[in-house]
Structure 1
Amino acid sequence: MTLNEILKLATERNLSLQSSRIAVERTRALQGTAFNLDPTAVSLSQDPTSGGSPDNAITVSQSFALPSVYTARKSLLKAQTDVERSRLAVNESELKREVSKAFYDLLYAHDVLTIYSRQNSIYNDFNRVAVAKFKAGETGRLEKMNAERLKRENEIKNMNAERDFRTAQLVMMKWLNTDTLIVPVDSIDDKAIFQSNPSIDSPLLMLAKADVDVANRQLKLEKRGYLPTLSLGASIQAVIKGFNPYNIERRPYSKGDFMGFSVGVNIPLAFGAQKAKMNAARKNVDIARLNVRNQEYMLRKAYEVAYNDYLSALNSLEYYQTKGVPQAREMERISKISYENGSIGYIELMQNMQSAVDVWKDYADAVCRYNKTIVELNYLKGDKQ
């Protein structure tokens, strides 16, 4: 699989990301609680001044806040949903970064395994030549022993490289929530170009700004706490014949039951608690704004560090692509031919071959480092990988 295919699979299968999506749906569902009335009160009453008559009253009453309170509450709940969306974007960005790094670790392990596997074939050929020369009396036993030793050592390195590759596969499986083994396929892309001081649109910064919006809307809602609430009530006469402890005959009026109503205003008189809530809400706004400034500063500095790493990795990569790898390839070819022709000895051959292997490994490391710096820069800057 290529990196893009793996990233697509990760966004679909990762359990942590699925949990974040559910959190967004939960906060969206909570927006329905913005218009939340107090429970409606229903009461049955007996007037003690009526001489214990069976004349009763059924009263229904309801209290509610002013419309601006419900509007402010709805606005706050929408802002909290936006925070969860921003948090989901942060989790997606972090997942892409970790999966991308795991992919390049997997690709590096695969490259190292390929290097040692190729060296196995080369060392087998050299060992065959060394044995033939020993039998022909052209070399001593020491050269034959060294050839066998180096062949065996490379086989051990190859087995260790296979285990490292397996470990990298297991790490990738963890991020993808799958039991399928992944073999990386490198996609050839043009070298990325980054600026030293770009605009920062990281999801981390967007999340901090969303927290500021929530804090401001929470403050607006707390300001509504000084407003009065209203209450409405209606009563209707009722005669319960079964309730007549004094045996007084009383019947409903022939022209209909008596009706009553009440309208009330609940005015807060003690403002100490509400004032404390207001002060706390203002502090939350101050904290959220400072967090935005701190997040922007930290992202900026982290980008500068990553940009320096990127320039260093790019410099190394260009060297190995233009000079190191071609020279290593030529060194292997000439050394092999020279040894078979007897122009160089076995010790010089092994030194040259080891130098070539070191170059190949350094090149694989340079590619991995370069790719990881691109991943980090994209993460910090806010661009999609």
Structure 2
Amino acid sequence: MATISYTKGPAKISRDDTQRRIVVGVNVRNRDLQSVVDDIQEIIRTQIEIPEGYRVDYGGQFENLQQARNRLLIAVPIALILIFVLLYFAFSSTRDAMMIYSAIPLSAIGGVLLLWVRDMPFSISAGVGFIALFGIAVLNGIVLIEHFKSMESKYTDIKQLVLIGAKERLRPVLLTASAAALGFLPMAVSGSAGAEVQRPLATVVIGGLISATVLTLVVLPVLYVLFKGGVKISVSGAKKAGLSLLILLSLSAVTMAQEQQEELTLTLDEAVNMALEQNLNLQAAGKGLEAATVNTGAGWDISKMQVFYSRDENDIAENGYANNKWGLLQSFAFPSLYTAQKNVLEDQVAMQENQLAIQQRSLRGEVSKAYVTAVHWDEVKNHYAKLDSLYRVFANAADRRFELGETNYLEKLTASGKQREIGLKLTEAGQNFQVALEGLKILLNWEGDLKVVNSGIHLEMAELDVESHPGVNYYQSALMQADHQVQVEKRKLLPDLTLEYARGTNVYSGSKIYPSYMGGITVPLFLVHRSPR
């Protein structure tokens, strides 16, 4: 009946969304996590052939890194905007706020430099350190600018004001920066648990404060002389400029947030119209029609005119010298051939128009089918989501009743099994919905998020008009093109026309100009090779 034996196999089989999962864990040392994952992805892409049905996902700390990085993309611009807003409200001057705001890029130089010196990669904790650094770095500028403004009534020479003010505020500026830097020093040299998070943050703050302090004492006085030594700006003008800058910064932040959360909601009619405008295959068919339309002018394909020079010693002029002849020679096909060629090209345009109409009708059907399919699986998913919540409550109640002894184990298993069955169907419906939605996005040539709505769906059977159907018209145009092509080959057997005009003369005395004209026809004598055409 059976054979029992010991074999090697997995000690544990894990599943995720009803699919088997194998976890390979890696501990990263002395390298940043992003570069390690990049190397792994490159090796898998170039050296490993993944069987069909398998995929590789990257989770753990790398997944947390991606999520934290996306949050920083929103947090950092907001922090920078808030710092500028507070500076503007504190000084009521866009000019003063911008001068103090210059400490932020100066501080970033030191933070990046010290990370490089300590051979530390940029991490999320380092990014948080930059946010903290930007807030601390402006303190030196506030101390210096506020003192300069308090001295404006005492000094008329702006350069003397800056020199004396910078000397008086040297100790407070150094004390402000050193107090904050020394507070982060224990974190920068820490080796205990959690040091891998503390060290990058403290390193960024200390390095940034050093560069911001040194450069602020040099750059900020220079900026103050440049701004204050020139034209004075009225308070109302400064307020207007500040408000304009705040509006621009706010709009940029809103735009960035919208780009992060962009989602397009379409009805069926909107989806069809969008597909007709953006579908790549339809655009290619439109370009083909444009090319065929432009090419109709090639029906009148006349050969190039020949310009020639000849000298015939037998052609003697009245003065006893041979003539030099210059002339023009032009050949033409029989005129009816050009008409037949133009008809062939016009038939090609008609075929392209009908082909475009066929693709438009086909695209409408495909988009409608994909849209209705997506709506169907969305409704099924919502239905199973409600059932899953109900059966989850029912399974919990059955477990509780079994614990209290009010029911047997069979009822408990039945409730749990039904709940898992509904859960599997919910997962299947969700996957089918995503497949249908991705197919719809391909037809629409849309890469962002897409939402379908169960409204405005009216599917009606269109009446079939055979006479005006583009498929019938396409083949009728193809038949006409074949007939015209036969006419082209027949008319190629007609004679070609040749016209020549020349003038002969020489450079000796007594010479005259002797014009000459020539007309002829070219008749094919050997028709054997043309008869199969």
Q: TM-score, normalised by structure 2?
A: 0.46
Alpha-carbon distance between aligned partners in 2 of 1:137 and 1:274, rounded to the nearest angstrom: 99
Equivalent position to 1:162, from 405, 430, 436: 430
What is the CA-CA distance between 1:35 and the residue it aligns to? 1.4
Q: Does 1:251 align with 2:519?
A: no
Within the alignment, does 1:121 sit opposite 2:121 as a pair?
A: no
Q: 1:108 aligns with which of 357, 368, 376?
A: 376
Which TM-score applies when normalising by structure 1? 0.62
Q: How far apart, in 2, do the equivalents of 1:4 and 1:252 lie?
A: 86
Per-residue CA distance 1:259-302 (angstroms, 9 max, x = gap): 1111112222222233221xxxxxxxxxxxxxxxxxxxxxxxxx
- In structure 1, the partner of 2:86 is none
How far apart are the structure 2 equivalents of 1:235 and 1:152? 97
Structure 1 contact 40–62 (Cα < 8 Å) conserved: yes
In structure 1, C-alpha distance between the alignment counterparts of 2:406 and 2:329, rounded to whole Å: 112
Which whole-Å deviations, capped at 9, do the CAs of 1:97-144 have from their partners, x for residues lacking one?
Answer: 222222222122212212211101221332344345445543234323
User: Does the CA contact (< 8 Å) of 2:313 and 2:322 recur in 1?
Assistant: no
Instruction: State the match for 2:518 in structure 1.
Output: 262
Per-residue CA deviations over 1:8-34 (Å, capped at 9, x if unaligned) read 111111111111111111111111111
Q: How does 1:1-385 map to 2 (within 5 A)?
A: 1-49=266-314, 53=321, 55-131=323-399, 133-134=401-402, 137-187=405-455, 192=460, 199=466, 202-239=469-506, 250-251=508-509, 253=511, 256-277=512-533
Instruction: Give the whole-Å Cα distance in 1 for the aligned partners of 2:459 and 2:349.
Output: 38
Would you say the 8 A contact 1:102–1:171 is kept in 2?
Answer: yes
Alignment check: 8 A CA contact 2:402 2:409 kept: yes
SS of corresponding position for 2:451: coil
Conserved? CA contact 1:169–1:181, under 8 Å: no
Q: Which amino acid aligns with 2:474?
A: L
Q: C-alpha distance in 2, partners of 1:171/1:190?
A: 21
Q: Which amino acid in 2 is paired with 1:259?
A: P
Give the greater-gyration-radius structure (CA).
2
Q: Which residue of 1 aligns with 2:39?
A: none
Asked whether the equivalents of residues 172 and 182 of structure 1 are also in contact (C-alpha less than 8 Å), the reply is no
Distance (Å, rounded) in 2 between the aligned partners of 1:191 and 1:260? 76
- Aligned-pair identity in percent equals 28
SS at match of 1:259: strand
Shift of 1:198: 7.4
The verdict on how the C-alpha distance between 1:182 and 1:34 changes in structure 2, with shifts beyond 3 A counting, is: same
Structure 2 vs 1, CA of residues 186 and 209 (structure 1 numbering), >3 Å: closer, same or farther?
farther
Asked whether the 8 Å contact 1:230–1:264 carries over to 2, the reply is: yes
Distance 2:327 2:440 in 1: 67
The 1:251/1:100 distance shift into structure 2, 3 A limit, reads: farther
Q: Distance in 1 between matches of 2:529 and 2:380?
A: 67
Q: CA deviation at 1:153?
A: 3.1
Q: CA RMSD in A?
A: 2.6
Whether the 8 Å CA contact 2:268–2:456 is kept in 1: the answer is no
Aligned equivalent of 2:214:
none
| Residue 194 of structure 1: how far off its partner (Å) | 7.7
Amino acid at match of 1:78: E
Which structure 1 residue ranges, 4+ long, deviate > 6 Å from structure 2? none
| Contact 2:354–2:470, Cα closer than 8 Å, also in 1 | yes
Measure how far apart 1:179 and its partner are.
Answer: 0.9
Q: Is contact 1:232-1:264 (8 Å) kept?
A: yes
Indicate conservation of the 8 Å contact 1:93/1:203, yes or no: no
Aligned partners of 2:409 and 2:497: how far apart in 1? 105
Q: Report the Cα distance in structure 2 between the residues aligned to 1:191 and 1:169, rounded to whole angstroms.
A: 19
Single out whichever of 21-30 and 229-238 deviates more from structure 2.
229-238
**Normalized per residue, which structure has more helix?**
1
Mind listing any 5+ residue stretches in structure 1 that lack a counterpart? 242-249, 278-385
Residues 9 and 32 of structure 1, relative CA distance in 2, 3 Å threshold: same
String of CA shifts for 1:31-89, please: whole Å, max 9, x gaps. Answer: 11111211111111011325895630002111112332222221111111101111112
Question: Which is bigger in relative contact order (C-alpha 8 A, separation at least 6)?
Answer: 1
Structure 1 pair 161/191, CA: closer, same or farther in 2 (3 Å)? closer
Per the TM alignment, residue 200 of structure 1 is displaced from its structure 2 partner at its CA by: 6.9
Moved more, 167-176 or 120-129: 120-129
The answer as to whether partners of 2:380 and 2:429 remain within 8 angstroms in 1 is yes
